[in-house]
């Protein structure tokens, strides 16, 4: 459990500049509408919601570099987000960030890592998010935040909050992966990052995967950040995401992972990203996000 019931600060980041489809900017509102604050209060937490950071709309800006779309705007938002997360940590609070597309992880992880000697990172996702401007097939920066956090990518992103890298490869675990680009595969091999693909989860079971994952992210670290992309789940359970990939984590596998994180009592920050209400069915994906957040914060069946 997060036994001491650390007070929570909710930060919304309605970012869709990093994604290829519109709508994910409404993710924070959808998650709030699914009773996020009320459910956390029911679990005994003190919760403040500082609202949404300002994010420019794509229509107001030109794409300067097709390999790094909206680079300056995303870098600016992530810098502000990093400072906001850092301030929450300084006040002794748990930063819970709601996306928005996954490019926001650049800022969240920067703000969290600023206060840690060594930060562990659990990355739930269908994708590796390990592209750079050189390897990206799309130019969408939401496919780059993990590479950036490891110190690979454009200086405007890598140097968020003025230091790099934010995390080390040996303290990072990816879970639920089933769609990688060639450049991402190469970087994973080069850095020796532990990746649990869906094949691994099918063979080992989520319980064994999480035990190994927890041992990696807690080895020599003084905090663990959770970055959860809702497209890590199977589209049958989480249809409202921008880049769905068949054959993902089940609802129960995802809950078990969150429950084991809560039991380990290691989380120091978290973000839940890529909820796209336009592509959803009755706000189902946002409700799934809230249920997973509850489990991560210690909700149990019995």
Residue 102 catalytic?
Answer: yes
Catalytic residue of the set 79, 129, 271, 280: 129
Catalytic residue of the set 25, 231, 259, 271: 231
Q: Measuring CA to CA, which residue among 153, 148, 159, 180 is closest to residue 67? A: 153
Catalytic residue of the set 73, 79, 142, 253: 142
Contact 251, 294 (CB under 8 A): no
How far, in Å, CA of 175 to CA of 232, rounded? 8
How far, in Å, CA of 12 to CA of 23, rounded? 14
Catalytic residue of the set 25, 253, 271, 274: 274
Residue 202 catalytic?
Answer: no
Which residues are annotated binding-site positions for Mn(2+)?
102, 125, 127, 129, 229, 231
Cα angle: 130, vertex 139, 105; to 5 degrees: 45
Residue 125 catalytic?
Answer: yes
Residue 16 catalytic?
Answer: no
Catalytic residue of the set 16, 73, 101, 229: 229
Catalytic residue of the set 16, 25, 125, 200: 125
Residue 127 catalytic?
Answer: yes
Residue 115 catalytic?
Answer: no
Q: 137, exposed or middle or buried, with CB in 10 Å at 0-12, 13-18, 19+?
A: exposed
Catalytic residue of the set 16, 73, 79, 127: 127
How far, in Å, CA of 293 to CA of 28, rounded? 13
Which residues are annotated binding-site positions?
102, 125, 127, 129, 229, 231
Cα angle: 122, vertex 123, 126; to 5 degrees: 150
How far, in Å, CA of 107 to CA of 84, rounded? 9
What positions carry a catalytic annotation? 102, 125, 127, 129, 142, 229, 231, 274
């Amino acid at each position: 459990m997060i036994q001491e019931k650390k007070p929570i600060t909710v930060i919304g980041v309605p970012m869709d500049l990093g994604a290829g489809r519109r709508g994910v900017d409404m993710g924070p509102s959808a998650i709030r509408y699914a009773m996020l604050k009320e459910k956390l209060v029911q679990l005994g937490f003190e919760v403040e919601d500082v609202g949404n950071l300002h994010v420019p709309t794509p229509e107001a800006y030109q794409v300067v570099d097709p390999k790094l779309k909206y680079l300056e705007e995303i870098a600016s938002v992530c810098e502000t987000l990093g400072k906001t997360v850092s301030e929450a940590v300084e006040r002794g609070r748990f930063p819970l960030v709601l996306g928005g597309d996954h490019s926001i992880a650049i800022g969240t992880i920067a703000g969290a890592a600023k206060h840690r000697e060594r930060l562990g990172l659990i990355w739930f996702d269908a994708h590796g998010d390990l592209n750079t401007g050189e390897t990206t097939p799309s130019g969408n920066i939401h496919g780059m935040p993990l590479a950036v956090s490891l110190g690979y990518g454009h200086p405007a992103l890598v140097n968020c909050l003025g230091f790099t890298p934010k995390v080390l490869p040996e303290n990072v675990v990816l879970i639920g992966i089933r769609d990688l680009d060639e450049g991402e595969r190469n970087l994973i091999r080069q850095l020796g990052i532990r990746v649990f693909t869906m094949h691994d989860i099918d063979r080992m079971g989520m319980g064994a995967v999480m035990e190994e994952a927890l041992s990696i992210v807690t080895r020599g670290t003084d905090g663990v950040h959770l970055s959860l992309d809702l497209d890590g789940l199977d589209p049958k359970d989480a249809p409202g995401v921008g880049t769905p990939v068949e054959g993902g984590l089940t609802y129960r596998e995802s809950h078990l992972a969150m429950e084991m994180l809560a039991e380990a009592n290691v989380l120091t920050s978290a973000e839940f990203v890529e909820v796209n209400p336009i592509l959803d069915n009755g706000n189902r994906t946002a409700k799934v996000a809230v249920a997973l957040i509850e489990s991560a914060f210690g909700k149990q069946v019995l």
